[in-house]
Amino acid sequence: MITWKDVINFSVNGNPTPDTRVEKTDTEWQAQLTPEQFRITRQKGTERPHSGALCSTHDAGKYNCVCCNTPLFDSTIKFNSGTGWPSFTQPIKENAIKYEKDTAFGMLRVEVMCNTCDAHLGHVFPDGPEPSGLRYCINSESMQLEKE
């Protein structure tokens, strides 16, 4: 189980090695993604709270990266955080997520990205439910649900 200490360690000392890498040009990503998906995943944007299609979805399945289809989160660890974005307590695998320190907007946060293709997903915070205490706050536009 990943803890806040692990998150900080990854963001400072380097991330786990992904199983594979996917690299494309901006032109290739733009051809594949909707304008909103491109803005969020490739330009580090965010969607308005409570606007994402996956916010209130609780179907069983895997939440995969919209860019490269890497499994990121499982529906069994999704929870309603009340923040307006889909929230999870753990990634599906330790090396599915990449962590980077984010000091944009005068705040200190930890950005989470797909470790396979570097797609911006959202941020992780240490205010989630036990046992991990983590809240991965993820943009709906950065994921697709593969229902079971």
Rounded CA-CA distance 36/57 in Å is 19
Tell me, yes or no, if 137 is annotated catalytic: yes
Residue that has been written with the tokens 């989470």 in this structure: 112
Residues 6+ apart with CB under 8 A from 13: none
Set 55, 68, 117, 137: catalytic member: 137
69: left (phi over 0), alpha (psi -120 to 50) or beta: left
Asked if residues 101 and 77 have their Cβ atoms less than 8 Å apart, the reply is no
**What amino acid positions are annotated as catalytic residues?**
137
